[in-house]
Amino acid sequence: MTTGTSYYCVARYVPDPVRDEGINFGVFAFGTSGGGEDTVKFLSISNWARLRKFGGENIDFLKEFSESAKRMRADEIRHMAEKWRNSIQLSEPRAATLPPDDLLPAIVKRFLVDIGPAELGYRRKEDIVRVVRRDIGEALLTQIGSYARAYLKTSHEIQGKRGKHTFDLGVGNGRPYFLAQAISFEISDRRQIGKQVDATAWAVEDIAPKENGPPVGVVILPPKSADDGEQRELHQNAIAIFTDLGAQVVKEDSIREWAGRMVSEHVPAA
């Protein structure tokens, strides 16, 4: 392997190798540092239901492979890509210009799809947090390169005027540049939604974005059914509350634009 060059390949689940029909379940990004040391990154899907249904068999071996893949060497990956032709297959490694840390998010977006929310029939808070994290991460990569990972924090705790609060995502370096919180009105549990709205409102008010506190974006998924009047009322009330408190209410189709703007305006370039 040429020093400084990165590669990627895709792990596929092929339950019947004769038919050669498969589903991507993981991606590798790997390369060598200037000192000749291997850097290997692997990420798998988080929801395995689609693969279990696709193969009609126990897929624990896929999960075990995904755990061991995080400790593999580059030569092992190349060997598997060349030799393995059974239920787990790796695509031929392809060269890329980005280092492995920066390459991984790009290939995850291209090759991996989590089907969990669609199978559930609704999306949860954590489903939208993953989307927001991805879009903020991509914007940070453009702005500050390899420092992006250190700047983007999950379950970020921050001190307000009267107490500590944990936001789904925070971007900062010594001090918070901006924060993000997610709420899904697609779920049917109104009590749970109410608790999330109240907790978010209290946190936003206490860190005071209106009074030079860090900016806050609240990403909200609206109710799935236009006929659910009570859910729609809760949704509209939440938007009004967050807006009045100085938070930016972000719609799903505006997440990428919002993430790019927040990074551009609040994160110093590397």
Are 46 and 175 in the same domain? no
Query: Mean pLDDT lowest for which of 81-90, 117-126, 230-239?
Result: 117-126
Please determine, for residue 86, whether its predicted confidence score (pLDDT) is greater than 80.
yes
Are 135 and 64 in the same domain? no
The CATH number given to whatever domain includes residue 131 is 3.40.1350
What integer is the mean pLDDT of 131-140? Answer: 91
pLDDT reported for residue 185: 92
Q: Predicted confidence band at 103 (pLDDT cuts at 50, 70, 90)? A: confident
174 in any annotated domain: yes
Q: Predicted confidence band at 121 (pLDDT cuts at 50, 70, 90)? A: low
Are 90 and 127 in the same domain? no
Q: Predicted confidence band at 56 (pLDDT cuts at 50, 70, 90)? A: confident
Are 141 and 210 in the same domain? yes
103 in any annotated domain: no
Are 83 and 151 in the same domain? no
Are 140 and 237 in the same domain? yes
pLDDT reported for residue 1: 39
218 in any annotated domain: yes
Are 131 and 261 in the same domain? yes
56 sits in the region (left: phi over 0; alpha: psi -120 to 50; else beta) called left
252 in any annotated domain: yes
pLDDT reported for residue 216: 97
pLDDT reported for residue 159: 94
pLDDT reported for residue 36: 60
Q: Predicted confidence band at 191 (pLDDT cuts at 50, 70, 90)? A: confident
Are 91 and 199 in the same domain? no
Domain end residue (candidates: 64, 83, 98):
98
Are 93 and 145 in the same domain? no
What integer is the mean pLDDT of 84-107? Answer: 88
Domain end residue (candidates: 28, 63, 98):
98
Are 188 and 128 in the same domain? yes
Q: Which residues contact 64 (CB under 8 A, 6 or more apart)?
A: none
55 in any annotated domain: yes
210 in any annotated domain: yes
What integer is the mean pLDDT of 99-125? Answer: 73
Per the prediction, the chain carries an average pLDDT of: 88
* pLDDT tens-digit series, residues 197-236: 999 999 999 999 989 999 999 999 999 876 667 889 999 9
Please determine, for residue 247, whether its predicted confidence score (pLDDT) is greater than 70.
yes
111 in any annotated domain: no
What integer is the mean pLDDT of 60-84? Answer: 93
167 in any annotated domain: yes
Containing domain of residue 261, as a range?
122-266
Q: Count the domains in the chain.
A: 2
Please determine, for residue 123, whether its predicted confidence score (pLDDT) is greater than 70.
yes
Q: Which residues contact 179 (CB under 8 A, 6 or more apart)?
A: 156, 158, 167, 169, 170, 171, 207, 214, 215, 216, 217
